[in-house]
């Protein structure tokens, strides 16, 4: 059996064989073809949408790669008001978005009380309009268990928190001493225990990353079994300590997307903004390598430029939520179709890909 067939059937390979897949392009064609087959078994041609609302670009952290880091004094900071957030959700709903992702830096202004007010207001607002078919996703970094619980109780369903790298030494080279991989992982486990559908992920080609780091990322994902896995190339930002490092690679990111699809066939895998930024066709290539989610930007147009995690972040074209027709046609050209629904993760049914699972215990586990 070929390496890729074994990966597809067993969802696993030894480290050396994963490394072999990652370090040459000779497997690419078969890898992408098999990943696409696998995504179609689980998700057909469906591409799920998430409307991204960038709540705040204030951040107390000082991650060396990130443009909204605390020490970047050149960035104009902003916070969205509750009214603005509700407006974004309204516009999004009209456009066919059924998941709202509130993403932001770790901004102490957004304490539990303020966030609970926001999440509850979105829920109330949606239910008054009989819009119960929506998910609220938060992506607001590391918080306490108590805080995650309060936000869940207020009506949040999903949480995105990338681990960034699963190698502790590498983590320490990307982050200041005040941050630790250990607490990041602990947050992810807490979120799962509370009942969130959890998304995590990592950057590809961040400074000091080795093949061993990437293998550690895959092994950590095997333990955590997240619902969503988001990866994108590292992209340089001029006002960070990493301003002289090269961007990550498009082809390595695509290869990793395909490997993720084969290891986690049930997973939600976004074709990320970073992928769309590194190459004009990046998102479409991501979909063809196994991705099945896109996250267009629903933030008010005037703040989009300010949420600059890396330079040249795209924000006015097909990644803009209001340009849905443009997005729809580019997704269609890649061979898929965007759908209007909540876009939940598929149960990881023992009969791979059988989508109407009645609830095997493994399936229920996979749903969290």
**Residue numbers at the binding site for ligand 5AD (CB under 6 A):** 65-66, 162, 164, 203, 232, 234-235, 237, 274, 309-310
Least distance to ligand 5AD, CB of residue 43, Å: 23
Nearby residues of 202 by Cβ (< 8 Å), 6 or more positions away: 162, 163, 164, 165, 166, 214, 217, 231
Contact 224, 264 (CB under 8 A): no
Specify the residue for token string 């989610």: 293
Distance CA 291, CA 295 (A): 12
d(CA 204, CA 206): 6
- Tell me the closest approach of the beta carbon of residue 274 to ligand 5AD, in angstroms: 5
Smallest distance, Å, CB 337 to ligand 5AD? 27
Give the count of beta carbons closer than 10 Å to the beta carbon of residue 333.
10
Compute how many other C-beta atoms are within 10 angstroms of the C-beta atom of residue 266: 20
Q: Which residue has the tokens 């997240």?
A: 226
Least distance from ligand 5AD to the Cβ atom of residue 14, Å: 27
Nearer to ligand 5AD, 156 or 235 (CB): 235
Pairing of strands 197-204, 228-233: parallel
Shortest reach from residue 65's CB to ligand 5AD, in Å: 4
List, in order, residues 6 or more apart from 46 with CB less than 8 Å away.
Answer: 292, 336, 337, 339, 343
Residue (98 or 313) nearer to ligand 5AD, CB: 313
Reduced to 3 states (helix: H, G, I; strand: E, B; else coil), residue 178 is: coil
In three-state secondary structure terms, 68 is: coil
The distance of closest approach from Cβ of residue 258 to ligand 5AD in the complex, given in angstroms and rounded to an integer, is 20
Nearer to ligand 5AD, 7 or 190 (CB): 190
């Amino acid at each position: 059996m070929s390496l890729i067939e074994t990966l597809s059937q067993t969802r696993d390979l030894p480290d050396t064989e994963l490394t072999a897949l990652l370090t040459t392009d000779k497997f690419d064609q078969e890898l992408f073809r098999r990943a696409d087959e696998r995504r179609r078994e689980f998700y057909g041609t469906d591409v799920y949408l998430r409307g991204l609302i960038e709540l705040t670009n204030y951040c107390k952290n000082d991650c060396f790669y990130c443009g909204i880091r605390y020490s970047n004094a050149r960035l104009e900071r902003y916070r969205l008001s509750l009214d603005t957030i509700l407006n974004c959700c309204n516009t999004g709903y009209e456009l066919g978005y059924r998941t709202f992702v509130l993403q932001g830096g770790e901004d102490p202004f957004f304490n539990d009380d303020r966030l609970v007010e926001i999440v509850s207001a979105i829920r109330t607002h949606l239910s008054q309009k009989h819009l119960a078919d929506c998910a609220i996703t938060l992506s607001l970094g590391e918080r306490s268990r108590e805080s995650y619980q309060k936000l869940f109780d207020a009506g949040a369903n999903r949480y995105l928190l990338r681990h960034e790298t699963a190698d502790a030494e590498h983590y320490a080279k990307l982050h200041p001493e005040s941050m630790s991989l250990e607490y990041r992982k602990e947050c992810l486990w807490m979120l799962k225990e509370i009942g969130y559908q959890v998304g995590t992920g990592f950057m590809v080609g961040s400074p000091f990353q080795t093949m061993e780091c990437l293998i550690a990322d895959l092994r950590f994902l095997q333990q955590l079994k997240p619902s969503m896995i988001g990866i994108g190339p590292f992209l340089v930002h001029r006002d960070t300590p990493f301003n002289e490092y090269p961007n990550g690679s498009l082809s390595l990111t695509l290869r990793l997307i395909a490997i993720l699809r084969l290891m986690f066939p049930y997973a939600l895998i976004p074709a990320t903004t970073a992928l769309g930024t590194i190459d004009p066709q990046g998102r479409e290539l991501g979909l063809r390598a196994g991705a099945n989610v896109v996250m267009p930007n629903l933030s008010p147009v005037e703040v989009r430029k300010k949420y600059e995690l890396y330079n040249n972040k795209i924000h006015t074209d097909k990644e803009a939520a209001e340009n849905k027709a443009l997005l729809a046609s580019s997704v269609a050209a890649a061979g898929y179709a965007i759908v209007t629904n909540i876009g939940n993760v598929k149960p990881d049914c023992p009969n791979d890909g059988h989508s109407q699972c009645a609830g095997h215990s493994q399936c229920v586990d996979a749903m969290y």
